[in-house]
Amino acid sequence: MARCEVCVHHCEIAEGSFGMCMARSCRDGVVVCDNYGKVTSAALDPIGKKPLNRYYPGSYVLSLGSYGCNLRCPFCQNSDISYGEPVQQMMCGLWVERYAPEEIAELAEQLQSKGNIGVAYTYNEPLVGYEYVRDTAKFVHERGMKNVLVSNGMVELPILYEILPYMDAMNIDLKAFTDRFYKEMIKGSRQMVMEFIQEASAKCHMEVTLLVIPRENDTEEEMRELSGWIASLHNGRGVDIPLHVSRFFPRFHMQDRGATPVETVYRLAEVAREKLKYVYTGNC
């Protein structure tokens, strides 16, 4: 039995078993990164797809993901690699390709002729396997390229501090701005994500995404609180942090409601612009 210290769950993992994220296991009484080097998804994506609108616009980034996640979002758009039966098959070595960190960095360098600026760690929750992110990012920096993190930001600060020296840009999903949503809907911690954003945005380029879900996080009051908090970061310099207000579509276990009305997304974006300089709408 060993205790994982990566995120808010602090899973007590029995020998040979896995934590909630399904990416970290216990071997010989020690928590290890079981998905290390196991890549399930890879693509050369436009940087704007991360989304990062104010970081090397027009460029591309080699995007890769593994499997596992430490949240339980019923609206997950990548549930096949985040959790559930497909992930159990990946844990057994099916549907994965193995790449050493230096191999990823070499591939990223080869793709520079196609506009690639580096590597994005994305698709599943990359920080449940932060060791692989850290090690790969070191090699990417050694080759003079950039590292981009797309994450839910729900990890302890010591984990952030391990990877932060190698990260150049991030987009963090701030799922909502109420503790009720985080605790009841997705089994997470809003406070942990807020601390992550505050610390990370002081050191690297930061953009934030909010997926607007009908009847869950779609009020003007919540948007004013969220955008006001972002704007207040770093003695008011948070006004320059871009916010992406994105439209929800029925997915996974949340198909009991329709897509977010486009006018709701636009209205909340206007509310956010009361506090923030750069607000973008997505999926509209």
User: How does pLDDT run across 201-253, given as a tens digit for each residue?
Assistant: 999 999 999 999 999 999 999 999 999 999 999 999 999 999 999 999 999 99
- What is the distance between the alpha carbons of residues 180 and 187, in angstroms, rounded to a whole number? 10
pLDDT value for 85: 56
Q: Is 199 exposed, middle or buried (0-12, 13-18, 19+ CB in 10 A)?
A: middle
pLDDT value for 91: 58
More confident residue, 147 or 92: 147
Annotated domain spans of the chain: 2-282
Q: Which residues are CB-contacts of 171 (< 8 A; sequence separation ≥ 6)?
A: 50, 51, 52, 148, 149, 150, 151, 206, 207, 208, 209, 244
Mean pLDDT of the chain: 95
Asked whether 33 and 5 are in contact (CB, 8 A), the reply is no
pLDDT value for 83: 75
pLDDT value for 81: 85
pLDDT value for 180: 98
Helix or strand run (H / E) with residue 180: helix 179-180
pLDDT value for 79: 84
Task: Tell whether the model's pLDDT for residue 120 goes beyond 60.
Answer: yes
CATH classification of 2-282 is 3.30.70.1290, yes or no? no
- Percent of the chain exceeding pLDDT 70 equals 96
pLDDT value for 82: 81
Instruction: Look up residue 85 and give its two tokens.
Output: 């039966």
Q: Each residue of 55-96: pLDDT tens digit?
A: 999 999 999 999 999 999 999 988 888 876 556 665 555 578
